[in-house]
Amino acid sequence: MSTTPDSTTTSTTRNPAGGNRRQAVVTGASSGIGAATARKLAAEGFHVVMGARRVERLERLAEEIGGTALELDVTVPESVEAFVARVPECHVLVNNAGGAKGTSSVANADEDEWRWMWETNVLGTLRLTRALLPKLIESGDGHVLTVTSVAALETYDNGSGYTSAKHAQATLHRTLRGEHLGDPVRFTEIAPGMVETEFSEVRFGGDTERAAAVYSGLTPLSADDVADVIAFAATRPAHVNLDQIVLKPRDQASATRANRRS
């Protein structure tokens, strides 16, 4: 599929860091889907501002793609404020920072894990979107792409901390579509199934064996697979809004059903 931007979507703007290129912000760009998305958007001609807590990783990527690396903790309002103050203009926001912590039943729910998931996925998306919406609208062709999950569409046992956070994040995102109808801004929800990134390692507190088992016997999506889809959505003509894209490995039918060959 071609990801060539339509000329109607490309407005020239001035940004000290990015020259006349369209400006994209990618949160959680220090690994996985976010890093792959930053690379793809840069290849499509965007100047990409990358945010995450592990800033040294971002700096390496910024050097590679000619982007800007800025420290960002989406759970800390002051950090979001400082980040946004350094983004003079914004055409595309990819709300990608997020993840899961633990697996436990509702009866055994760990409140600290819930707080982490809700702060990162839900309030993080709220903070970045709210802060950048004026700049996105002002750009004349803004676009918010939020990485939710199949966990935003389904529930599964021992996953309610994550599924509830992803449902809430998706609800926030989908609400914006109506609230900004008539404004020059698009909203795309990206809902992936299994993607092999650091996601499961984070979820299982660094237990790499347990993380690897999630993807064993099947071919998961790669971060690049998801980034391709994000870049495709972000480079359609200004009048085309891809509302929701669900992508899963062929080996995965739902959040709880996968075909494992071994």
CA distance 172 to 126: 7
Out of 42, 147, 233, 255, the only residue in the binding site for ligand NAP (CB under 6 A) is: 147
Report the amino acid identity of residue 56.
Answer: E
H/E stretch holding 231: helix 223-234
202 is a contact residue toward ligand NAP (CB under 6 A): yes
CA distance 119 to 164: 12
Out of 72, 90, 170, 233, the only residue in the binding site for ligand NAP (CB under 6 A) is: 72
Out of 5, 34, 67, 102, the only residue in the binding site for ligand NAP (CB under 6 A) is: 34
Q: How many residues does the chain have?
A: 262
Q: Which one, 80 or 238, has the nearer CB to ligand NAP? A: 80
On the CB side of 257, how many CA atoms lie within 13 Å of its CA?
Answer: 4
Identify which range of 1-9, 18-26, 134-142, 198-206 contacts ligand NAP by CB under 6 A. 198-206
Cβ proximity of 197 and 223 under 8 Å: yes
Q: Which one, 6 or 112, has the nearer CB to ligand NAP? A: 112
Out of 13, 23, 26, 28, the only residue in the binding site for ligand NAP (CB under 6 A) is: 28
121, burial (CB in 10 Å: exposed 0-12, middle 13-18, buried 19+): buried
On the CB side of 70, how many CA atoms lie within 13 Å of its CA?
Answer: 22
CA distance 144 to 92: 6
Per-residue x/- marks for ligand NAP, 223-242, CB under 6 A? x-------------------
Name the residues annotated as catalytic.
162
25 is a contact residue toward ligand NAP (CB under 6 A): no
Q: Which one, 72 or 90, has the nearer CB to ligand NAP? A: 72
Residue 225 Cβ, how far from ligand NAP at the closest point, in Å? 11
120 is a contact residue toward ligand NAP (CB under 6 A): yes
Cβ proximity of 249 and 221 under 8 Å: yes
Under DSSP, the state recorded for 215 is: T
CA distance 1 to 155: 32
Per-residue x/- marks for ligand NAP, 148-167, CB under 6 A? -x------------------
Structure tokens at 52: 């995450």
75 is a contact residue toward ligand NAP (CB under 6 A): yes
**211: closest CA among 98, 58, 100?**
100
Q: Which one, 9 or 31, has the nearer CB to ligand NAP? A: 31
Identify which range of 32-40, 179-187, 230-238, 239-247 contacts ligand NAP by CB under 6 A. 32-40
Binding site for ligand NAP (CB under 6 A): 27-34, 52-54, 72-75, 96-99, 120-121, 147, 149, 192, 194-195, 197-199, 202, 223
